[in-house]
Structure 1
């Protein structure tokens, strides 16, 4: 069972997981396998499709660059550290983006020996709970770190405990997801926002917030919100366009997703025939696109067709085979 990445064990497993892309296989080779090996091949391809590397889009690269830039700058700041807010509509890829950037960062730390030893925690990942209070917020950090939260702890004691452990573990990057759950107009949530600010001053680490339409969530309202805005660069994840300059980016995304599917009989770039249909169906939202295409691809693997049947989905006429020329009538 996959563990939640909001625990130290789950996050460590997520960072450590390495899925090798299954070797290309022909239909004849697949059918020559034993039933057991054939089933294993199909499962391996489906697993890699869903859990393999994310598509490294231009937006992903820009956000990663800014996070790494602020990580570098914060090494020299004792207070007023800089952060990043990743905002966008639901299913646009915020959590996927920040979690995979953090994963890549920790893997690099491991590669150079900066994440060795039982006490080292380069990255912390937490989510803001609904109706958040300062103690609930600190409790999420304690939960990730595996610290017991005593009933008699007050917020100050819990703050000092969490901050001291984070400092001792050398944490460099702190991801706070679902940040839209903090609305400054509610007193307890405003205090939870203050708690995050205090924590950033008490321990090392660059904070990255991610949430749904953060600018409209109430997080940036009032004096507290203006303080956050002055320290955090807001980066928006946008829908992909299928017009003008955005058309090439949408096409590149479709081909990258198609290449990750591992379908034996999928003709290269055949997905581009349905670029407009797929855009209309998903609104250019990457999460909706991958969800739709992955479902169709898994069905194609299971039923043996081994190709995306987008003509049936969209009611279009199948393309002529590449080696045939349609005859005019």
Structure 2
């Protein structure tokens, strides 16, 4: 399913039943199925590997609390600026997944509080609007994206003010109470058009009785949060920083091992020994740089290969042959390069010590 950047797509995603894992069969039980049933079972497992399963990690829990508090506070009628939430972190850490999950949860909670519609639907209620900021956004491009999220028709001749007013009126009529703005780092406030777009978004948010949730890459160091414009917004936004997992202490290693085990539990393979990948937790940390998104992708890709080749288990050799994303590769390359001089120095030091000892003994 594509990113839900229209009302219709969002509602289809919000209403979609939560994914259910396939029944875990043994190799013998799968083999006993008719050929057509085997193919259907494999297709079900392959789809499950790409399902939107969100772990209740510490980041998700913290963000949930922050959004819940901000949403409750923002319900109060007030003419002052409302509290917003920003989720920051490197790519592949799961920012978009987290905010989409929170938006979906908010959507369902709001609809559950509403009186039942006589025909089982309420087209006049859309609690959440999801917007992706386009690269190098101008004010008009930004408003186009918002109007797209509202399924509003627009023409290239429409002015920014017209689009803004139309979006405000529509969100008010739809009783929108949460606006998710993803890829917010695309607002480059060190350029005039970027600063104008950021100002347009600020003014837009001030006119809506809604909680704004922003997500973007490395926001505390982005132009939006460090430039002159930051004085207008940083006092209104609570930032949660998502960080890669670490593997230095026993506690950190235990957290990572549990995460590997949770990801491994999602692999419905007929010959894979349960929790066997936890023995390779250190290796998996090195391959993924502590990124949950990269870990899940690596294991899912390996499990897909195991299903397609009928080997039905994920081994160290299979993981070695399964590529990771470019960012994880670059991190690993940089880490290896940084470690190389120290190891070379140790070898050279060891060699000099042996030579000196040999000379002394002679």
**Same structural fold, with TM-score higher than 0.5 when normalized by the shorter chain:** yes
1:80 aligned residue? 81
What is the number of equivalent residue pairs in this alignment?
A: 314
* Cα distance in 2, alignment partners of residues 299 and 156 from structure 1: 52
- The Cα of 1:45 is off from its aligned counterpart by 1.4
Where do 1:66-145 residues align within 5 Å? 66-76=66-76, 77-113=78-114, 116-145=121-150
Q: State the TM-score, normalized to the length of structure 1.
A: 0.91
- The Cα of 1:123 is off from its aligned counterpart by 0.6
* Cα distance in 2, alignment partners of residues 28 and 215 from structure 1: 54
* Cα distance in 1, alignment partners of residues 157 and 106 from structure 2: 37
2:265 aligned residue? 259
2:239 aligned residue? 234
Where do 1:33-44 residues align within 5 Å? 33-44=33-44
Q: C-alpha deviations, 1:170-207, integer Å up to 9, x for none?
A: 11111101101112111111111111111112122111
Deviates more, 1:240-249 or 1:250-259: 240-249
* Cα distance in 2, alignment partners of residues 89 and 138 from structure 1: 26
Q: State the TM-score, normalized to the length of structure 2.
A: 0.83
1:318 aligned residue? none
Contact kept in structure 1, 2:30 and 2:38, CA below 8 Å: yes
* Cα distance in 1, alignment partners of residues 87 and 115 from structure 2: 26
Contact kept in structure 2, 1:3 and 1:9, CA below 8 Å: no
2:200 corresponds to 1:175? no
Structure 2 unaligned regions, length at least 5: 322-362
Contact kept in structure 1, 2:147 and 2:167, CA below 8 Å: yes
Where do 1:146-185 residues align within 5 Å? 146-185=151-190
Q: C-alpha deviations, 1:25-75, integer Å up to 9, x for none?
A: 222221111111111111111212211421221111111111111111111
* Cα distance in 1, alignment partners of residues 132 and 317 from structure 2: 40
Q: C-alpha deviations, 1:194-240, integer Å up to 9, x for none?
A: 11111112122111111111122201133421221111111111101
1:203 aligned residue? 208
Considering only CA atoms, is the larger Rg found in Structure 1 or Structure 2?
2
- The Cα of 1:144 is off from its aligned counterpart by 1.2
The 3-state SS of whatever aligns with 2:129 is: strand
Deviates more, 1:86-95 or 1:146-155: 146-155
Contact kept in structure 2, 1:55 and 1:257, CA below 8 Å: no
The 3-state SS of whatever aligns with 2:297 is: helix
Where do 1:258-277 residues align within 5 Å? 258-277=264-283
Contact kept in structure 2, 1:92 and 1:287, CA below 8 Å: yes
- The Cα of 1:311 is off from its aligned counterpart by 4.2
- The Cα of 1:264 is off from its aligned counterpart by 2.1
Of residues 240, 248, 268, the one that matches 1:243 is 248
* Cα distance in 2, alignment partners of residues 194 and 290 from structure 1: 38
Of residues 287, 290, 313, the one that matches 1:284 is 290
* Cα distance in 2, alignment partners of residues 278 and 218 from structure 1: 34
2:24 aligned residue? 24
The 3-state SS of whatever aligns with 2:229 is: helix
1:294 aligned residue? 300
The 3-state SS of whatever aligns with 2:212 is: strand
The 3-state SS of whatever aligns with 2:137 is: coil
2:60 aligned residue? 60
Deviates more, 1:132-141 or 1:11-20: 11-20
* Cα distance in 1, alignment partners of residues 115 and 144 from structure 2: 27
* Cα distance in 2, alignment partners of residues 114 and 90 from structure 1: 40
- The Cα of 1:314 is off from its aligned counterpart by 4.6
